Structure 1
Amino acid sequence: MNKNLIIGQFTDAYLPITDGVVLTVKNYAHWIEKKYGKCIVICPSFPKFIDEDNFDIIRFFSIPMPLRPPYRMGIHYLDLKAIKRVEKIPFHIVHAHSPFSAGLFALETARKRKVPIVATFHTKYYDDFKSATKSDFLARIGVDIIVKFYEKVDQVWTVNSSTAKTLKEYGFKKEIEIIPNGTDIIPPENLEEYKEKINKIYNLSQDDNVFLYVGQLILHKNIKMLIESLYYLKMKGFSFKFLIVGTGKDEKYLKDLVRKLKLDKEVIFVGRIIDRELLKGFYARADLFLFPSLYDASPLVLQEAFALSCPSLLIKGSNASEGIIDGYNGFLSENNAISYANMIEKLIKNKPLLREVGKNAQKTLYRPWEKVIDEVVERYKELIFTYKKNF
């Protein structure tokens, strides 16, 4: 079965969106197709976008999500053509990366095909629901519906034990398997060349203090607190540049905040970077990767930072901080602007320590996607075998 697996990856978000779940699905499909057989991604349609991946993609009907552009809401049951295409595929196993339309499509497909279904819990959905509805009651109802979906699948995965704990807190009582995320970035040997490229683009000197954030520009990510911490740092007389890579629905709010705090000269909104080689340069040049999110489970941007030996500053107790040993392979701070600023100040005065911790992060936390997918496929094969034996 090693080279003949047929696997479906069902997701409610895919390219041209480039969040963590999208990149996870893309790398699952890429490496499965390359090493183990056939992988098909089933996802919502996206107008005017042309798929160019090296694996098959089936798009189903979708409509815009006004509250979360550019995301789209898939409605698979209105797309009979997509349903018929999927029904013809002799899957050995299907994998749902969302509990919504794509997840339901995966569950229906698995039961019709009489094959197992895995579902990964990627996201703190309660936070999403609360942000959209402004209601604890409605957010709780949404979470209850999600838990019922995960209870129907054959195996549930999360990206780390902290995220498994979150799903348990939502009310899920069954066993949860831990499958970590990886990255497609391979550590380059010529790190200085990548650094110099960013220095030239942004007119930086080798001695400039450079901080980096990569990710969506949404308030969920705690970026407001991060910017406020840099305001305190500037008030103490520290000079620095803060490069923000990404876009999102709260970009205007954050730009207004930067202007209000008179950080225009220090903060650079880079925008979205599609070129992965150029993205390496940002991590290579940064003295410190700032990621104070309490929302993220196991962000791929951290794996990217680890790959480039870029030390990270996270929040104590956050899901994203799992695996971080403070002062050895990363740094941790309390969740407030003054504490975060004080920690940055302390660290930037000790650049040899930053370099050492960055190297330790690469040694202890970096995981290439190829190795992750080797483990994923072994888990798939075990589940296929068990399912057939018990069916």
Structure 2
Amino acid sequence: MIGLFNDCFPPIMDGVSLTIQNYAYWLNKKAGNVCVVTPSVPDAKDEGTYPVYRYSSIPIPMRKPYRLGFPRIDWPFHARINKLSFDLVHAHCPFSSGSLAMRIARSQHIPLVATFHSKYRSDFERAIPCKKIVDYLIRNVVRFYEMADEVWIPQASVEETLREYGYKGKVEVVDNGNDFADGAPIAELRRVARETLKLSDDEMMFLFVGQHIWEKNLSFLLEALARIKEQSFRMYFIGTGYAASEIKQKACELSLMDKITFVGNITERERLKRYYAAADLFLFPSLYDNAPLVVREAAALHTPSLMIRNSTAAEIISDSSNGFLSTNNVNAYAERITELIRQPRLITKVGDEASRTIARSWENVAEEVYDRYMNLMVRKKL
């Protein structure tokens, strides 16, 4: 059995939980014998073709909808998980699920793969004002990755963050995919999607999908939009998070509510796909993200992203080729949007190239992942 361990899983939606979901689906389809291990969530409906083992958890204050898991004290869960014989475990988080994966790997003498997805220091610093405590927690994160048999990162630029934390070991780059990269014709989907949203032909649509948290640079984005609010555009925000109400309040203070629609969280993938298809530009100025899935999802629907130059997330973007870049300055970002509003043909051309160069299917990624698992299991037995 291959075990995929993470501290969140649908119905909690973020890039990592979607990664786990797609790993599980495609690996199970290819080889079977895959399971997911994750904290419990109220009203979770685990209806996939693979088992999901959940352990006790409580809400994390100020970090809605995430949960703090307690696998050590959940005895019924232990009774179930201890009956399983694993061939390999893959931890996508260094906390409760990662610790559990580490314990199973040691007790069953099997390989542990650990993927580094997130900028944990930023999360710690927001919640903990004491630098010494944050440094201590980061050392624990590094220690976790040092004990793994292989450490994976979703794109090469993420290595810099891991090195900054103090990790000195080897890393392997394993790309993320997306479930919209099916090569379907985009023109009709875009037309229908824009009609549904009642967008006129000459009205630009901008889109942001992701957690509604300040770390995503959303104050920066709102201020940039306020500088161009005389232009003809509609901006859609999709997602939820601890700062959702404050973000709406800021949009109101900037007199942007007639330009912005806050859609809320969307879990139905076909509905989300239509928003990506309708959009002209995906606005993603985050300095917090490592390798955001949403940029790849937008690219799959021929929607190019406008990102911040030299950010970790923007490594896959070549300016005016498969996406657009701006300096980390509100006025510069606003000016770049204005320039692009005047160049719809360039947006279309760059969107097509984004689809060709950025969007990789999860099925293709899972093939690579499975081969890597098999090679590691063989090496571990030598």
With normalisation by structure 1, the TM-score equals 0.95
Q: Aligned partners of 2:132, 2:196: CA distance in 1, in Å?
A: 49
Moved more, 195-204 or 342-351: 195-204
2:2 match: 7
Where does 1:266-281 land on structure 2 (aligned, <5 Å)? Answer: 266-281=259-274
- The alignment-based identity, stated in percent, is 43
Q: SS in structure 1 opposite 2:157? A: helix
Q: Aligned partners of 1:127, 1:283: CA distance in 2, in Å?
A: 28
The answer as to whether partners of 2:209 and 2:239 remain within 8 angstroms in 1 is yes
Q: 1:134 to 1:193 in 2, by over 3 A?
A: farther
2:159 match: 164
1:135 match: 130
2:144 match: 149
* Offset at residue 188 of structure 1 (A): 5.6
With normalisation by structure 2, the TM-score equals 0.97
Q: Aligned partners of 1:350, 1:189: CA distance in 2, in Å?
A: 25
2:313 to 302, 317, 320: 320
1:126 to 115, 121, 127: 121
Q: SS in structure 2 opposite 1:148? A: helix
* Offset at residue 39 of structure 1 (A): 0.6
Q: Aligned partners of 1:340, 1:7: CA distance in 2, in Å?
A: 44
* Offset at residue 279 of structure 1 (A): 1.4
1:294 to 273, 287, 294: 287
2:373 match: 380
Could you report, residue by residue, the CA deviation over 1:294-320 in whole angstroms, capped at 9, with x for unpaired residues? 111111111111111101100111111
Q: SS in structure 2 opposite 1:54? A: coil
Q: Aligned partners of 2:56, 2:231: CA distance in 1, in Å?
A: 51
Moved more, 184-193 or 298-307: 184-193
* Offset at residue 134 of structure 1 (A): 2.8
2:19 to 21, 24, 30: 24
Q: Aligned partners of 2:276, 2:45: CA distance in 1, in Å?
A: 29
2:62 to 61, 67, 71: 67
Q: SS in structure 2 opposite 1:175? A: coil
Moved more, 256-265 or 134-143: 134-143
Q: SS in structure 2 opposite 1:227? A: helix
The answer as to whether partners of 1:194 and 1:280 remain within 8 angstroms in 2 is no
Q: SS in structure 1 opposite 2:316? A: coil
1:88 match: 83
Query: Could you tell me which amino acid in structure 1 is paired with residue 41 of structure 2?
Result: F
Q: Aligned partners of 1:168, 1:99: CA distance in 2, in Å?
A: 16
Query: Could you tell me which amino acid in structure 2 is paired with residue 312 of structure 1?
Result: S
- Structure 1 stretches lacking a partner, 5+ long: 1-5
Query: Could you tell me which amino acid in structure 1 is paired with residue 312 of structure 2?
Result: N
* Offset at residue 84 of structure 1 (A): 2.5
Q: SS in structure 2 opposite 1:166? A: helix
Q: Aligned partners of 2:182, 2:36: CA distance in 1, in Å?
A: 28
2:346 match: 353
Q: Aligned partners of 2:327, 2:271: CA distance in 1, in Å?
A: 32
The answer as to whether partners of 1:130 and 1:138 remain within 8 angstroms in 2 is no
Q: Aligned partners of 1:160, 1:199: CA distance in 2, in Å?
A: 33
Matched, 1:224 2:210: no
Could you report, residue by residue, the CA deviation over 1:340-386 in whole angstroms, capped at 9, with x for unpaired residues? 00110111111101000000111111110011111111111111011
Q: SS in structure 1 opposite 2:34? A: strand
* Offset at residue 85 of structure 1 (A): 1.7
Q: SS in structure 2 opposite 1:295? A: coil
Q: SS in structure 1 opposite 2:219? A: helix
Q: Aligned partners of 1:270, 1:258: CA distance in 2, in Å?
A: 14
Say how many residue pairs are matched: 382
Matched, 1:284 2:272: no
